[in-house]
Chains A and B, each alone.
Chain A
């Protein structure tokens, strides 16, 4: 019996070890490069002979050609992500309230429009959106990326908030109406406080989506004063002899905050609409 148990346990490890390596090697490779000097980075060692934090210093002091605007780019990333998060949250909360609680006429049509946007591949929407942003004169303004990300993030946000809102008891609305509450009072005093956890989750979702976005960022923004860090990282590829160890240090700085936020809000982040869309 015990030997059979041992065998089944060994089988599990036989799956676990490849999974662990598969997942972690590219991550470890970033970390390894970022703490290596230029010479030892390419030696193929699993741990550098003299681990160093110098690469991070180079990044923070903007001492490399590709990094002259590092702090500006971080600021842009943050500014755009927060703006897109706030606007998405506001737009989606209002829409979800109108559709779910006020049962507004046309709510269903708007919901379908949102779902259509959600399912269209983002890389396909990028082409007409690029053209439209040009027509609006927004290209190279940070607002173009903010508004594009609001467009992409809102559908999922509305759906999730609508699902959460549908679960609130109707008696609350009725009681508020009988007491003579206006729709705004219902919204402010009943709806918003009850929805708070979902609102936090949606803000986080839009924030991360925007911070992580590359395609729209590099399409809509190209001026060095407006590009976010994601596009700045892409510039490293413009020459063959890029300083990989510095790129990897920058990439680590760029990737850590969203990963940390993701893990902090993990239980809100997976599933959602997709689970709703695919559940049998």
Chain B
């Protein structure tokens, strides 16, 4: 690894090691970033989380238990609902109409804009007292609307809605790309055979995009687990810290200066995260080994 300055020779074959040295020099900045800001922090963090005592107190914290339950529901419901919707809408957006193409440009807005403005907007829309939603409900029915963000279950449902609102366009586009890769002849042949729309989906579309759908779902599972914004910016974990997920709980412990609990929260999720990360890395490596 020592960066010995090699004599520059005219012959390409002899200067091979010069090229290797340059390669290492150019690789060094990222390697340094990784060592200093990923490897060292993670190793140090795991070392901090080695004390069994911090897990015992963590498990005794009722907020932790609630957050785990919330996280599981969030992952199961939000990710699956998002993908069923994305699958359906990808079928809508592949229609060849000019106005549908324009609609798809509008549809991507939630993904294109930063999280804070839109999530705050939704938060204000659903404010139980002043928000436009309950104002309209009151005006139309004379009744008070639900406490959208102060009822824990409802607030979690709203957070899932925010998450889906933001992430749906992205996954719809991914699935759309999958659908567009299916040869048209397959559909034409199916039409000739008198297949219904459902049969076309079942026998042509689904077999072609099943792998894409499942891999996307797994990737989305990891990323949804790390979705801090949808929950924190909407509810802030309130009321009474009943709407935390693991991502916001870890940050909450930091703010309370309980770093060992913050790390322990993350370590608890690792048995779930690491296999998924390993699987995704494997997939990319296989992809990478294809002849260039």
Contacts and interface: CB of A to CB of B under 8 A. Distances in A.
Contact of A20 (B97, B106, B212): B106
B285 to A, nearest CB: 7
A176 to B, nearest CB: 10
Given A110-B34, A255-B113, A178 B12 contact: yes
A154 interface: yes
Interface stretch (B54-62, B130-138, B148-156, B187-195): B130-138
Given A151-B33, A247-B120, A44 B132 contact: yes
A65 interface: no
Contacts of A203: none
B63 interface: no
The size bracket of the interface on A is 35 or more
B112 A95 contact: no
Contacts of A193: none
B116 interface: yes
B89 A128 contact: no
A182 B41 contact: no
B247 A104 contact: no
Contact of B33 (A91, A126, A182, A187): A91
Nearest to B255: A219
Given A27-B121, A230-B114, A271-B173, A22 B40 contact: no
Contacts of B283: 277-278
Interface of A: 12, 15-16, 19-20, 22-27, 29-30, 33, 42-44, 90-92, 94-95, 97-99, 102-107, 110-117, 119-132, 135-136, 147-148, 150-151, 154, 158-159, 166-167, 177-178, 180, 182-184, 187, 211-212, 214-215, 219, 230, 233-234, 236-237, 244, 247-248, 251-252, 254-255, 258-259, 262-263, 266, 269-271, 274-280
A168 B262 CA distance: 45
6 contacts: A19-B107, A33-B121, A102-B26, A119-B281, A182-B18, A270-B111
Contact of A254 (B114, B124, B250): B114
Nearest to B99: A16
* Chain B interface SS verdict (over half): helix
Interface in B251-292: 251, 254, 259, 262-263, 265-266, 269, 273, 276-277, 280-281, 283-285, 287-288, 292
Given A104-B26, A219-B251, A255-B117, 8 more contacts: A113-B39, A115-B284, A121-B223, A148-B37, A182-B22, A251-B116, A274-B174, A280-B210
B24 interface: yes
B29 A102 contact: no
A9 B273 CA distance: 44
B226 A94 contact: no
A159 B288 CA distance: 10
Instruction: Across the A-B interface, give the 9 residue pairs with the lowest CB-CB distance, nearest first.
Output: A121-B226, A104-B23, A128-B45, A251-B117, A280-B211, A102-B23, A132-B41, A128-B41, A123-B247
Contacts of A233: 116-117, 120
A130 B280 CA distance: 26
Contact of B40 (A126, A132, A279): A132
A23 B109 contact: yes
B19 A102 contact: yes
Given A26-B125, A131-B44, A214-B229, A115 B281 contact: yes
Given A23-B109, A94-B29, A130 B254 contact: yes
A254 B115 CA distance: 11
A135 B108 CA distance: 40
B198 interface: no
